[in-house]
Amino acid sequence: MKDQFYNYIQQLQDTITSKLESIDGKAKFREDHWKRPEGGGGRTRVIENGNVFEKGGVNISAVHGKLPDSMQSYFGVEDADFFACGLSLVIHPKNPMVPTVHANWRYFEMYPSAAIRQAQLDTLRTGSEKKIIDQWFGGGQDLTPYYLFEEDAKHFHQICKNACDKHNPDFYPNYKTRCDEYFYNAHRNEARGIGGLFFDYCKASDGMSMENWYNFVTEVGNSFLEAYVPIVEKRKDLPYTKEQRDWQEIRRGRYVEFNLVHDKGTLFGLKTNGRIESILMSLPPHVQWVYDHHPEVGSEEEKLIKVLQNPREWV
């Protein structure tokens, strides 16, 4: 399964970066290959200063080794090894009328530690294959607009729902709700954006085989461009003012706050000695923190804030 999924995210990275380059028409993704000293590595692709995309990254990684003590405590295990691979992307467009987007699809395996496996081998004199003691998929995709176009929100959520409905009619309402709950800046009492899907710990014990979960997760991954690209193409050439650009940068500050304070992926990367440049590629290049800022009453900016404070059903 890990080989199957890693092959998939390699191909998906190629598909997504090629499409985004064609939309931008100017900037190209810079590619870095990196290795993690404890095991594994990744392929980072970053785009900057384009016609459409001011900053973005589409990264894949596959890392393995001893699960750090802090993460063992988090997962409630003792002395375990792990393998994790996934694709993670964040795209920050230049035009404030185009939303920022985030997506991630990942797979995780956990094994008895090397010391435990050796003790078992000494006792049982069996083969040396690692025994998987736990495995799961996770992921999702979500949209963070700066100006609310309701038709864009409905389109994004409809594509998410279409992907889910092919596998289980309960998936979209469940994972949409989880997304609203997860991408939430509790210290601001507002959502990071208008949501999408968020799922984690998708295991065979949940009533579906790992192959079925693979089919679901890849269905969602394959739907990403259909969900996002039409919105970009519709909004990327709209005019905007300096004040609207300032608002975009203020809202980007909230995005940064979530990623550094709450995001599990950022935490996992930092705790497992991931590549810091790849982990923090999600941070936008131009951000503002304005003291005690509030949008004008009745403005388009306030309209967005009201939706972020009270998540809606879009489809």
Which of the residues are catalytic? Answer: 102
- Shortest CA distance to 38 belongs to which of 62, 61, 60, 65? 65
Q: Judge contact between 156 and 176, C-beta under 8 A.
A: no
Which are the contacts of 28, defined by CB distance < 8 A and separation ≥ 6? 21, 47
How many C-beta atoms surround the C-beta of residue 171 within 10 A?
Answer: 21
CA-CA distance, 91 to 229, in Å (whole number)? 11
**103 — alpha (psi -120 to 50), left (phi > 0) or beta?**
beta
Could you tell me the CA-to-CA distances from 309 to 120, 125, 196, 227 in Å, in that order? 53, 59, 16, 23
Q: Judge contact between 285 and 48, C-beta under 8 A.
A: yes
CA-CA distance, 11 to 187, in Å (whole number)? 38
Give me the count of residues in the chain: 315
CA-CA distance, 94 to 78, in Å (whole number)? 46
Q: Judge contact between 67 and 97, C-beta under 8 A.
A: no
CA-CA distance, 180 to 175, in Å (whole number)? 9
Q: Judge contact between 145 and 153, C-beta under 8 A.
A: yes
